[in-house]
Structure 1
Amino acid sequence: MQIGIVSDTHDDLDAVHAAVDLFESEGVEAVIHCGDFVAPFSVAPFDADFAFHAVRGNNDGEWNVQSAVESFGTYHGEAAALSFGTDGDADGPVEIAVVHGTSDLVVDALVDCGSYDYVLHGHTHAHGVEERNGTVRVNPGGLPIPVAGADDVFRVATLETGEAGADAVTHHELP
């Protein structure tokens, strides 16, 4: 199963449309947004031909973001624990935790607890993937912002659940 991962789109409709176009061309079955849509209008383009999951980011101040997501997807509030696949799959279901990532302590605790195959987060606008003790931490990136360490281009990621570990994650640069 192919899963799209995106974060920190901050009302940039061109970036949102580019992400949706990539996810559709890659044939993803689900998309997970790690927070910071900012306003409800930038949620609507994710109403596409895939399941959609989202968590709240620190800049999602408009509570109507929740109802916008819930009109076609699943809004999980501050955090989500998702399971993709079934016990009948070769390696069983893939367990995924999702938070926005404003607390490194929380992200590290989710990675280190050993309950998840993947921990997805955003917030830093810097893409990355790190494997620790069987759990893979994934930050898809986000819009470029003038902060040290942030990406200089918009990035998203895809996760192939049939693969294992960090090799299952691909980052994509978008215009």
Structure 2
Amino acid sequence: MIGIIADTHDNIDAIRRAVDFLNSQNVSLVLHAGDFIAPFTVKEFKKLNSPLVGVFGNNDGERKGLGEKFSQMGTHLKDFVELEHKGKRIALYHGTIEEFVSALVKSGDYNIVIRGHTHSPKIKKENGTLVINPGEVCGYLTGKNTLSILDIEKMKAVIHEI
């Protein structure tokens, strides 16, 4: 199982709930699709029982500080990450440029494309690619604190409200 989160936007209480939920689900990996915001949030992500892979979002202005804090836990943030997990190719991008998201999906290079930015949870299959937007952990825009759990072997993702 993979935990998928995005748009945490400094909401410490919501981040704590997300970390607790992900730990309770025994996920083997957590993917964060950006908009952490401030370096002080890193201490909460250190409580994860699994590795974290993340990307910068459009609101992550303090990139140097975020990069330094996350590197202390072995996580190196970039604007875009591609990885392979259990034989599946995954693209992780915040989603700021919709044309780039569309190109990732249409490329056929990835089994899974994970994005954030819109704060709206959505799971769809397009051109044979599973596209996952976990919504927003912060809950600021929608009033709902959401994340996703992906069963990568079954290629099935579910949105959870925390």
Structure 1 and Structure 2 fold alike (TM over 0.5): yes
Once the two structures are TM-superposed, the CA of residue 49 in structure 1 deviates from its matched residue by 1.3
Instruction: Please report how far the alpha carbon of residue 74 of structure 1 lies from its aligned counterpart in structure 2 after TM superposition.
Output: 2.2
Given that 2:2 and 2:30 are in contact with CA atoms closer than 8 Å, whether structure 1 keeps it comes out as yes
Please tell me whether the aligned partners of residues 70 and 77 of structure 2 are also in contact (alpha carbons under 8 angstroms). no
Name the structure 1 match of 2:125.
131
Please state whether the residue corresponding to 2:8 is helix, strand or coil. coil
Gaps of 5+ in 2: none
Tell me the CA shift for residue 75 of structure 1: 2.1
Letter in 2 for 1:58: N
Where do residues 22-171 of structure 1 align in structure 2 (5 Å cutoff)? Answer: 22-47=21-46, 48-62=48-62, 63-85=64-86, 93-142=87-136, 143-146=138-141, 151-164=142-155, 168-171=156-159
> Deviation digits for residues 25-55 of structure 1, max 9, x if unmatched?
0000110111101000112211121011110
Alpha-carbon deviation of 1:21? 0.5
C-alpha distance in structure 1 between counterparts of 2:124 and 2:93, whole Å: 16
Q: Which runs of 4+ in 1 moved over 6 A?
A: none
Q: Work out which structure has the larger RCO, using CA pairs closer than 8 Å and 6 or more positions apart in sequence.
A: 2
Letter in 1 for 2:96: T
Task: Calculate percent identity across the aligned residue pairs.
Answer: 37
Partner of 2:161: 173
SS of alignment partner, residue 96 of structure 1:
strand
* Aligned partner of residue 98 in structure 1, secondary structure: strand
CA contact (8 A) 1:8 1:37 kept: yes
Cα deviation, 1:95-125, whole Å, max 9, x if unaligned, reads: 1000111111000100110011110010111
Letter in 2 for 1:43: V
- Structure 1 position 73, deviation (Å): 3.2
> Contact 2:123–2:130 (CA<8 Å) still a contact in 1?
yes
1:89 corresponds in structure 2 to none
User: Considering only aligned residues, what root-mean-square deviation do their CA atoms show, in Å?
Assistant: 1.1
| Distance in 2 of aligned mates of 1:173 and 1:70 | 29
CA contact (8 A) 1:11 1:38 kept: yes
| 1:60-109 deviation line (CA, Å, top 9, x unaligned) | 11121111111113224100001112xxxxxxx01100011111100010
| SS of the residue 2:81 aligns to | strand
Could you tell me the TM-score, scaled by structure 2's length?
0.94
1:31 alignment partner AA: V
The TM-score, its normalising length taken from structure 1, stands at 0.87
CA distance in 1 between counterparts of 2:148 and 2:92 reads 14
Residue in structure 2 matched with residue 8 of structure 1 by the alignment? 7
